[in-house]
Amino acid sequence: EQAAEEIAHAMHWVNRWSPPPDCVVLTRGGGSLEDLAAFNTEIVVRAIAASRLPVVSAVGHEIDVTLADLAADVRALTPTDAAQRVLPAKSEVLERLLGMENRLWGAIRGRLEAGRRRLDSLARHPVFLRPFDRLRAAAQRVDQWDARLTLAVRRIQERAEQRWRAAADRLESLSPLAILARGYTVTQEEETGRPLRSSAAIAPGTRLRTVFAEGWALSRVEAAAPSQDRAKE
């Protein structure tokens, strides 16, 4: 019973290998029916049936047939027969190796020949035959781009200067100092600094500050009259 459990455990264990093997060989040399009893148990048969890997059974002699043989994917007559079924013949292995060698050398020769053709093609390319032609053409294009960029920057500067001058002139024309420079003055209440726009807001005795283009002067109101009254006078 212990042997059957160990065989079943080994079947489950080998199915968990990573990477998995190609197959499982379940084998034992010849013996009495009692010696082979573990291979006739339900637990071993179920383990073989549940195996994801192909199972080759080679238990006992040719005349011995167990339930494990019947549950396996392949029944071999003896352990030697199982080895021959699982492993390819020496001549077959050598033939495969020879074929792989020939394919490998063929691939190497193909890559070398493709590289040689590519190298010959590049050697005939104008960039290698006349290497400085491309450099001179590139230098000429750089000079052209430099001249165009310089001209564009100069034009941008000129337009910006023109706009700046126009804005400065406009600000100058709107400046109070420019108005004063033309002979006008600004009159304010000396106490509050409020600019006066009409004589109606001035009372006799009010102290005034008159601002000129250059300097200012203080005065006191003796009398004030609307513009129409002054016109009558």
Higher pLDDT, 24 or 32: 24
Give a yes or no: residue 95 inside a domain. Answer: no
The helix/strand count (H/E) of the chain reads as 9, 6
What's the pLDDT at 219?
82
pLDDT category of residue 13 using cuts at 50, 70 and 90: very high
Give a yes or no: residue 169 inside a domain. Answer: no
What's the pLDDT at 232?
46
| Calpha distance 54→61 (Å, rounded) | 21
Higher pLDDT, 198 or 77: 77
DSSP secondary structure letter of residue 195: B
Higher pLDDT, 113 or 182: 113
Cβ-based neighbour number of residue 16 at 10 Å: 8
| 204 close to 223: Cβ distance less than 8 angstroms | yes
What's the pLDDT at 175?
65
The burial of 209, by beta-carbon neighbours within 10 Å (0-12 exposed, 13-18 middle, 19 or more buried), is given as middle
Q: Is 226 helix (H, G, I), strand (E, B) or coil?
A: coil
Mean pLDDT score, 112-116: 89
What's the pLDDT at 233?
45
| E strand or H helix at 166 | helix 131-174
Going across the sheet that includes 186-189, the strands are 186-189, 207-211, 216-220
Give a yes or no: residue 123 inside a domain. Answer: no
Give a yes or no: residue 39 inside a domain. Answer: yes
Give a yes or no: residue 221 inside a domain. Answer: yes
Domain that holds residue 70: 2-87
Give a yes or no: residue 6 inside a domain. Answer: yes
Give a yes or no: residue 52 inside a domain. Answer: yes
| E strand or H helix at 1 | none
pLDDT category of residue 79 using cuts at 50, 70 and 90: confident
What's the pLDDT at 231?
43
| Listed residues 48, 71, 87: the one ending a domain | 87
First to last CA, the chain: 145
pLDDT category of residue 12 using cuts at 50, 70 and 90: very high
| E strand or H helix at 222 | none
Q: Of 11-20, 26-35, 71-80, 94-103, which range is least confident?
A: 26-35
For residue 131, what are its two tokens? 């290497």
Task: Look over the chain and give the mean of its residue pLDDT values, rounded to a whole number.
Answer: 80
| Listed residues 42, 60, 87: the one ending a domain | 87
| Listed residues 36, 58, 87: the one ending a domain | 87
Domain count, the chain: 2
Give a yes or no: residue 42 inside a domain. Answer: yes
DSSP secondary structure letter of residue 208: E
Q: Of 2-11, 47-56, 175-184, 201-210, which range is least confident?
A: 175-184
pLDDT for residue 168 is more than 80: no
Kindly report the backbone phi and psi dihedral angles of residue 22, in degrees, each rounded to the nearest multiple of 5, phi listed first: -70, -35
